[in-house]
Structure formats: C-alpha cells, structure tokens
Amino acid sequence: MRRRNRRKNRMRKHCEKKCYLGPLSAKERNEKAFTIRYEAAEDQRNAHLSRPVCNGDEWLYPKKIANFSKGLPHNSLGEVDMNSYNRYIKALNSGKVSDFNSIPMGGPVKLSNPQAAYALDLIGSDSHKMNLAVPPTFSSAWQAGEMAEVYWQALTRDVSFSEYSRNPLTKAAAAELSRLSDFRGPKSNGEVTTETLFRGNTPGDLAGPYISQFLWKDIPFGAKTITQQYRTTLPDSYHLTSYDAWLNIQNGGSSEAPKYDLKSRYIRNGRDLSAYVHQDFSYQGPLSACLILLSFGKEAIAQTNPYMNSATEGGFVTFGAAHILDLVAKVTRAALEAAWCQKFLIHRRLRPEEFGGRVHNHLTGETCYPFHKELLESQVVQQTFKQFGTYLLPMAYPEGCPTHPAYPAGHACLAGAGATVLKAFFNENFHIPNPVEANSDGLSLIPYGDTPLTIGGELNKLASNIALGRDTAGVHWRSDGIEGLKLGETVAIEILKDYSKTYNERFCGFTLTKFDGTTITIK
C-alpha cells in the first residue's frame, strides 16, 4: 500500500511538472505578484500628501449661501435650515451611518450617495490623495463670468451649433462674455467668438464642429450597429423658472415629467446635448468611442502597442479589445469615487440652480447678497427676466440638478478618465475617416471636410462635450467640468501606472497627450 501511494505521488508530481508551463514556477509567480502589489502599495503610501484647500466660502457666510444644500429644508429665501445643515456636516465628518440617517430632510428626495466619498480602491491612487484647484468664490468676477455663461447657455439651448455664427443670441453671448473681466473660456485674439463660444479648453476643442465625431458616428455593437439619434425634449421646454417651483425643488420636492420630442435626433444643439448627458449611463460616451475606434483598424492603434509589429501574435486579453474595454469601465468608477470625495468632503460648492435663486432674491429686493457687479449689470440677467419674469436660471431638467454638490462634475471626471485610457491605447494623430456633422434639424448627418480631425482632438472634444453639456443643462459650472476632466485624467494615469508593471509583453509604457497639451509616458 505504501509503495503504491509513493508511486502515485511521484506520478502526480511528474504530471504537475509536465502540465504547468511557463518561465516561472507557481511559487516564483506568487512571489512576483506579491512584490508588484507590495511595491505599488509602498509607492502610494510614500507619495507626497498635500492638504486639500477649499475656497473658504463655507466659513465666510454663516447662512451657507455659497454651499450646496438641495434636499435639506430651506426658508422662503431658499436659505438652508442651519440645524439640518449642521447635522449634514456632522454626518460627513463622522462617516457614521447613524448620523446620515438622522439628517433632517426637506422632502422625499434623498442625497445622492455621500458615503461613496469614503470608498477605498485597491488600484491606482486613493481618492483622498488627489487635489483640485480652488474653485471661484461666491462674490468674485470669475464666478460672475461662470454664471453669465450658464445663463447664456440656457437661453441658446435651441440654437443649432451650425447656426452659431449668424444667430443674434449667440452673437450677443460671445460679445458679453468677451467684456467680462475674468471669463475663462477659450478665446480667439483675446475675444470670445461664436467659434469659441461654450467650447472646452483642451487641444482639439476648437477644431471642426462643436460636437465630437464620437457622438455622431454609428457605433458597432457586436452584430448590431447603433445609430446615434437620441431622444430629446421639445423646444422651449424650460423648468424651475417660477419661484414656487424652484423653492419646492430646493426642499427636495417632486417634479413634473419632461416633454419629449416624438423624433429621435442627432445632437445638433444644446438642448439635445443636455438630453444626452441626462440619460446616459456612467461611461456611455467613452465606451461608444472605444467601439468606434476599434472599428478603424490597425492604423488607429498606438505605436506603443507591443503587438503592432508582431509576425505571430495579436493582442486581445492584453493590448486588445478586451483589455481596452475593461479599463474604460474600470477607470470611470474610480474617477467618480475621487469626484465624490471632493464634492462632499472638501468643497460642497452650490449649483448654478441655487445661485440663480440668490440672484432672483437679491434683484427683487427680498435680501442682499455680495454678488460681483458684472453679473448684476449683465445683459443676460435682464434678458432672462424679460423672457421668464424671474431671474432664476432656466433649467433643462424638471428636477433640476442632482442632489450632490457641484465641484467637480462627475460626468467630467468619468469622461476625462475614459478619454485618457483611449488616448493611451490609440494613435492620437490618426485622422478620423469620413467625418460628419448633423444638419440643423438633427435628422441626418452630412459630410464634414473642412479640416482633418484627429483621434486625440476628438477624444478631448468628447470629454469637453460631456462636461460642458451639463453646464448647458444648467446643473454645472465651467470650472466644475474643466477641473473634473483633469481629476479624471489623474485617476486614469495612476491606474495605468499600476497596471503597466503587470504585463509579460515587452512594453515601453503608455504614451499620451494630457488635457494641458503635454505628452507623458506611463511606465
């Protein structure tokens, strides 16, 4: 019996040795995996920690007029009940479920997942180690410029992007934003023009049509092709322009249903873009772009891909479709974790919707707030009152903004992260084949042939479209989007850095162009 058992053991070990191939034994591989994990953790633990800084408005204004409070109870001016706000701050500071459950709410609408701000991730950098630039203060010229822009974006929602150069409203918007002392949108020769109006600040944003090719071109989806015509809302649909409706929504009240167009359309104006970023799932834009890019063939793949010149292999699980699709999804959730940390635990910035209520109550003499005079004297504020009878910001969505603070924009963070991954895997200089643009009614696409459009530029534009589309809806500020893109980019870079050490292929690192125009290699 013992002799037979010894023979079986010898046979088993022999079979194990024969069946398991590879340059490393199981034990050696286990040690290598541990070393990579340990060194990545050590790098993260030893990384420089900088102290997060807010703009100080929460401490400057005792009534918290510059901070997000939607969903909590408010007085007739839309100013938050301080007992409720203090309980909210106590819960954020303690992280205790019991403290969150005891926050007095103003109505049935709930806060949007504040406990996500405490989530830990095991790849990339911890969300609490990433910092943002300090956002504008309530009374600054910078804030006045951002509010004037979102008013203009609301009033021009129904203007086709192809008609910006000749429409009186977009001409007036460009002229007024040019006159503001601290407006930080893109300019041409120091002036906002109808060609730069409401666009992003990244390389490629000013090239070609306003909308990225990745929001217009057909999407290959397995055995099906998805045409990018989307449900939109009816022209002249504006919400929260009456004071009672606005105050009800601030208190967490319910809202009416949106009124939809019977026809689906290609995105051709701000209203359509607002509708897209209202109903999209988290990484829909980057995922769609990835599927389109994969259909362009080998020439669209980054030269750093280790399989570009292989005579016997092609990428799939690594450096192929499965790899890229996985990372596009993975980085966007991590980017939202970083956004939620900034939103709830650091900045708690109010939304444009709330700011519009402050403007209305100030200009109607109900109270007095320290606005910058450039906003109060602006043409767009008076134009809003003339059209709607209030100074409230006309919202694209019946429910107004989400119930989480403004800074940074979650859509911008996930778009920035997704675009960064795609720039790492694809050739940014590749020209998009057969570019298109929507006609003025959004029912068809027509060829666009004025200037070549590159993958890198159109990915940047996609990210900006998603970020600034939320401004067009009235739910975010320009700085929410611009800084959100950068935060998402940082999240993606840190994750790519961790993964770059896990591949067997002879790989020299991911090379990409950042949103600020600099080129980096991630190893």
* CATH number of the domain residue 194 falls in: 1.10.606.10
- Between 205 and 2, residue with greater pLDDT: 205
Active-site positions read 404, 411
Residue 38 shares a structural domain with residue 183: no
- Spatial distance between the Cα atoms of 133 and 455, rounded to a whole number of angstroms: 28
Res. 19 pLDDT band, cuts 50 70 90: confident
Residue 243 in any domain: the answer is yes
What are the tens digits of pLDDT across the range 287-335? 999 999 999 999 999 999 999 989 999 999 999 999 999 999 999 999 9
% of the chain surpassing 90 pLDDT: 92
Helices 455-472 and 478-499, axial angle in degrees (round to 10)? 140
Nearest-CA neighbor of 420 among 321, 335, 322? 335
Tens digits of per-residue pLDDT, 54-63? 999 999 999 9
Both tokens of 25, joined, read: 């034994």
Q: Does residue 220 form part of some domain?
A: yes
Q: Residue 14's pLDDT is what? A: 57
Per-residue model confidence (pLDDT) at position 50: 84
What's the pLDDT band for 245 if we cut at 50, 70, 90?
very high
pLDDT for position 51? 87
AA identity, residue 4: R
- Residue 13 counted as domain residue: yes
pLDDT at 47: 86
Angstrom distance (rounded) from CA 107 to CA 248:
9
Q: Is 73 within a domain? A: no
41 and 118 housed in the same domain: no
What's the chain's length in residues? 523
Q: Long-range CB contacts (< 8 A, 24+ apart) of 305-308?
A: 305/425, 306/503, 306/505, 306/506, 306/507, 307/505
Structure confidence by residue, pLDDT tens digits, 440-487? 999 999 999 889 999 999 999 999 999 999 999 999 999 999 999 999
pLDDT, residue 116, reads 97
**pTM for this entry:** 0.95
25 with 123, same domain: the answer is no
For residue 510, being part of any structural domain is answered with yes
CA angle 459/462/463 to nearest 5° reads 90
pLDDT surpasses 60 at 15 = no
151 and 238 within one domain: yes
Is there a single domain that holds both residue 386 and residue 472?
yes
Statement to judge: residues 312 and 178 lie in one domain: yes
Residue 266 domain-assigned (yes or no): yes
Reported as half-sphere exposure (CB side, CA atoms, 13 A), residue 67 has a value of 27
Helices (H), 268-409: 270-279, 284-294, 321-340, 352-363, 373-376, 379-388
User: Are residues 234 and 326 part of one domain?
Assistant: yes
How far apart, in whole angstroms, are the C-alpha atoms of residue 437 and residue 247? 40
- Residue 13's pLDDT is 59
C-alpha R_g of the chain: 26
Paired residues of 487 in beta bridges: none
Q: What is the pLDDT of residues 157-185, one digit of tens each?
A: 999 999 999 999 999 999 999 999 999 99
Report if residue 485 sits inside a domain: yes
Over residues 344-400, the pLDDT tens digits come to: 999 999 999 999 999 999 999 999 999 999 999 999 999 999 999 999 999 999 999
Domain membership of residue 27 as a residue range: 2-46
The contacts of residue 377 (CB under 8 Å, 6+ apart) are: none
Best CA proximity match to 391, nearest among 367, 366, 358: 358
pLDDT of residue 3: 66
Q: Are residues 190 and 278 in the same domain?
A: yes
pLDDT of residue 315: 96
- Among residues 46, 65, 80, the one where a domain terminates is 46
Same domain for 413 and 515, yes or no, is: yes
Q: What is the mean pLDDT of the chain?
A: 95
The tally of domains found in the chain comes to: 2
Q: Is residue 327 domain-resident?
A: yes
Based on the fold, state whether residues 133 and 35 are members of the same structural domain: no
Q: Are residues 169 and 36 in the same domain?
A: no
Q: Which pLDDT score is estimated for 449?
A: 86
> Domain check: are 14 and 126 in the same one?
no
